[in-house]
Amino acid sequence: MSVLVGKSAPSFIANAVVNGQVVEGFSLDQYRGEKYVIFFFYPKDFTFVCPTELHAFQDSLAEFESRNVAVVGCSTDTEMSHWGWLQVPRNKGGIEGVTYPLVADTNKTISAAYDVLVGEYDLNEYGDLIVEGELIAYRGLFLIDKDGIVQHQLVNNLPLGRSIKEALRMVDALQHFEENGEVCPMDWEKGAEGMHATHESTAAYLAKGK
């Protein structure tokens, strides 16, 4: 599994569904210099854990937007599959009401670039395509800063849902560091004290029982 932290987020151009409308030529590059991005992958449309995550991001969308963060989802389904799932009510397992972009990684290249693709493929000696696994995405999440640099990544296996609170905490920690030059210790939350990157600062912080 590649570690993309500290590197430029891989660029792509793909179809997506944005606020219920199919959009061609969607790219994260549109946010460069303007917004932070939470870019997350999920395994499949019309499944079980996935809608809980997609709705949780939607329910917290105002929190992300207040922090100047764009939320973007992605799976290896087609844009028409995304659109169809959006037509299904929430109480029937659908994602009706989700407004943020859902990218269609139909050819699997985006998942491969972010190294969250489950399974492998190759050609055998006869030129036949050999596939191991489903070629869907793990539950990857990437926090990308306004310069397009990945500052945080988290990858869960398929059965393990994520924490929206943790995603927000990472955004707050990054912005606290950028604004104040202070690093954020374990379990730091917005409004708490940060630390200056010195041994003296660490000792003083620990002495307070923080």
Q: What is the C-alpha separation between 102 and 41, in angstroms, rounded?
A: 9
Q: Which two tokens stand for residue 72?
A: 């973007």
Catalytic residue check, 74: no
Q: Which of 4, 37, 38, 50 is catalytic?
A: 50
Q: Which residues contact 119 (CB under 8 A, 6 or more apart)?
A: 131, 132, 133, 134, 135, 136
Q: What is the C-alpha separation between 144 and 31, in angstroms, rounded?
A: 10
Pairing of strands 14-18, 102-104: antiparallel
Query: Cα 157 vs. chain centroid, distance in angstroms?
Result: 14
Residues assigned a catalytic role: 50
